[in-house]
Amino acid sequence: MIISILLLLVLLLVTTWVGLYALVKQQGRILLRLDELEQTAKGPEPVTEKATEPEPEGLEAGSEFPQFEFSNLSGDTVSRADFHGKRVLLVHWNFQCGFCDLIAPELAALLPSLEQANVALVLLAYGDVPANQKGAAEHKLNCPILLMNDAPPPEPFARRGTPVAYLLDEQGRTDAPFASGADQVLSLAQAIVDEHAARSQSEALQSKAPAPAGQKATRHRVKLPGFLVRREVGLGDVVKGVTSSIGIKPCVGCERRAAVLNRWLSFSGGMAEELKAGMNAPLFELPDLTGRMVSLKSYRGRRVLLVFTDPQCGPCDELAPHLVQLHQQHANNGLSLIMVGRGDADENRRKAEQHRFPFPMVIQSKWKVSQQYGTFATPVAFLVGEDGVLAQDAAVGTDPILTLAHLGHTEGGAK
């Protein structure tokens, strides 16, 4: 457990230290210089840390972010220049993206603290006004949402997925390395808040006065996928473990400093643990396209090929006719098939009619069941045995899914 955490946390520190440079920087000597935190309160500066892996591709810190101009949800035109004098956490966003949906509540919770740090959270989003209004209201994301509609995204976001982000300074220059993926975007936002709280705490220590209201270095938790973080771990323990693993000897007061960092920030699993063969398949009961409730538990005694799809997924369309043929060939030999879709019911109904699905297709709410199964991939499949236990690890993609299905009906025929 300790070895796996150490290997993981080398990667976590690269992203976490982006915003926490006021806490853990001083010419790359992390623990040996943490005393500076209690003696000085420096403004944010870009930091380049040496890492075992290359930094994510993107604009270098200090580069000017291209000008942009889009409409907000009220129809008003908003440009990058409108945020001059304020730092901006600019996020490439889509409310239909499972990873965006996963971190939306966390970003909403950080909004007041970001505002206190003079940072505006701005979402460059896809979709129409009603869909984005609905998503913003559901997650209480009361921040500027600019719709790109048919216009291309700014070049740094071109050919990128969602969510990805840049932190811009008051002049519109990149103030931190590119944050790619839900965990890095959330870590960057959390790091901005913690850096501001730490600076206020340091100023309070200098003056021997209490920190301003709302600026206490309270403990914050960053949720990450369960396959990355098995248990809660504090930032101080992360620093200690990684620096020890690379040969930096602990100095006097390291335990005290680690305890302080642990109180500020910790990491915990934000998704279900990755499911493996031999684990119980999470049960669910969902409506199919006719409104009939389908329960996985009712299939006990039969093997079930559980396939997760999305109506906007191209590989899912490629897989569909193979699943129809599979059902026709093996429906009577103990192998059942259930397709779990997400998104708009009408879109899923059109797909089902287009491919003439003869098996149940149920609709999950957002990514709720996918999250229980520890994956947002599509298409992805799980083979559930007669006893409700996963017979094999998950299969992702057309060929692996068909191989898994072949294994399912072969085992059934052998019994």
Helix/strand/coil (H/E/C) assignment for every residue in 355-381: HCCCCCEEECCCCHHHHHCCCCCCCEE
pLDDT of residue 349: 92
Identify the DSSP state of 207: H
Q: Which of 203, 195, 202, 200 is nearest to 213 (CA)?
A: 200
**Phi and psi at residue 43, to the nearest 5°:** -70, 165
Confidence band, pLDDT 50/70/90 cuts, at residue 229: very low
pLDDT tens-digit series, residues 97-156: 888 988 999 999 999 999 999 999 999 999 999 999 999 999 999 999 999 988 899 999
45 phi and psi angles, rounded to 5 deg: -135, 145
For the stretch 21-75, pLDDT in tens is 433 333 333 333 334 444 433 334 433 333 344 445 688 878 899 999 999 999 9
> Under the phi-then-psi rule, with left for phi > 0, alpha for psi from -120 to 50, and beta for the rest, what region is 365?
beta
Ordered by where they begin, the domains of the chain are 2-269 (3.40.30.10), 285-414 (3.40.30.10)
Contacts of 245 (CB under 8 A, 6+ apart): 6, 10
Neighbours of 9 (CB within 10 A): 23
How many Cα atoms sit within 13 Å of 57 on the Cβ side? Answer: 6
Type of residue numbered 350: R
The vertex-372 CA angle with 368 and 373, nearest 5°, equals 120
> Is the full-model pTM beyond 0.75?
no
294 pLDDT exceeds 90?
Answer: yes
CA–CA distance, 62 with 168 (Å, rounded to integer): 9
- The predicted structure's pLDDT at residue 32: 35
Proportion of the chain above pLDDT 90, given as a percent: 40
- Distance CA(88)–CA(83), nearest Å, equals 7
Which pLDDT tens digit goes with each residue over 234-284? 666 666 555 554 555 555 455 556 666 666 666 555 555 568 899 999 999
Enclosing H/E stretch for 256? helix 254-264
Can you tell me the distance from the alpha carbon of 162 to that of 296, in angstroms, rounded to the nearest whole number? 31
Residue 26 confidence (pLDDT): 36
Determine the angle formed by the axes of helices 314-330 and 345-355, rounding to 10 degrees. 50
